[in-house]
């Protein structure tokens, strides 16, 4: 596990770039953290690292946002998704074959999801103040 401290949204984006340096096409990043913790800022850093100039926004209502770059980034919000059937209905599993990196918010809503994903890592974000965060990167071999 690697631990980072962020004191601003801009620092969170930079930490996202650092985490991106550990990733490759086909990987899945499973975020945990309360609403407003900075998951979208981390995704912005990942997308920028892979050459995207797209506007990175929360996929809360769209369920998935796609960002073009050297490697496509698929940013999912599963806050309102509760079952594997729901995932099939939104086409989630089709993205696994598209050669991108999947950044998945609220994956803990579907505990069995992790068993369907190769190349997964975890990112836990804990708010410690208005703008401060502790961000923990957990590589696949350390995930439970």
Note down pLDDT in tens along the chain; length 144 residues: 999 999 999 999 999 999 999 999 999 999 999 999 999 999 999 999 999 999 999 998 889 999 999 999 999 999 999 999 999 999 999 999 999 999 999 999 998 998 888 889 999 999 999 999 999 999 988 876
At residue 102, the 3 state secondary structure works out as strand
- Number of domains forming the structure of the chain: 1
Report the run of H or E that residue 11 belongs to, with start and end: helix 9-20
Q: What is the pLDDT of residue 23?
A: 96
Contact assessment for residue 87 and residue 64, using Cβ atoms and an 8 Å cutoff: no
Distance CA 35, CA 123 (A): 14
Q: Which domain holds residue 93?
A: 2-142
What CATH number does the domain containing 28 carry? 3.40.50.300
Distance CA 49, CA 114 (A): 25
At residue 29, the 3 state secondary structure works out as strand
Q: What is the pLDDT of residue 60?
A: 85
pTM: 0.95
Distance CA 130, CA 21 (A): 27
| Measured CA angle at 46 (ends 37, 91), to 5 deg | 85
At residue 53, the 3 state secondary structure works out as coil
Q: What is the pLDDT of residue 144?
A: 60
């Amino acid at each position: 596990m690697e631990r980072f401290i962020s004191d601003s949204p801009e620092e969170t984006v930079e930490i996202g770039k650092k985490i991106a340096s550990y990733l490759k096409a086909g990987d899945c990043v499973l975020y945990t953290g309360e609403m407003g913790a900075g998951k979208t800022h981390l995704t912005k850093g990942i997308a920028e690292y892979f050459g995207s100039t797209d506007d990175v926004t929360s996929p809360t209502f769209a369920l998935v946002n796609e960002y073009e770059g050297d490697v496509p980034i698929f940013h999912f919000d599963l806050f309102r998704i509760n079952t594997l059937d729901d995932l099939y209905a939104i086409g989630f599993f089709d993205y696994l074959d598209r050669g991108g990196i999947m950044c998945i918010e609220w994956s803990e809503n579907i505990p069995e999801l992790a068993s369907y994903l190769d190349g997964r890592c975890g990112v836990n974000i804990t708010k410690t103040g208005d703008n401060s965060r502790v961000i923990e990167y957990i590589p696949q071999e350390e995930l439970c």
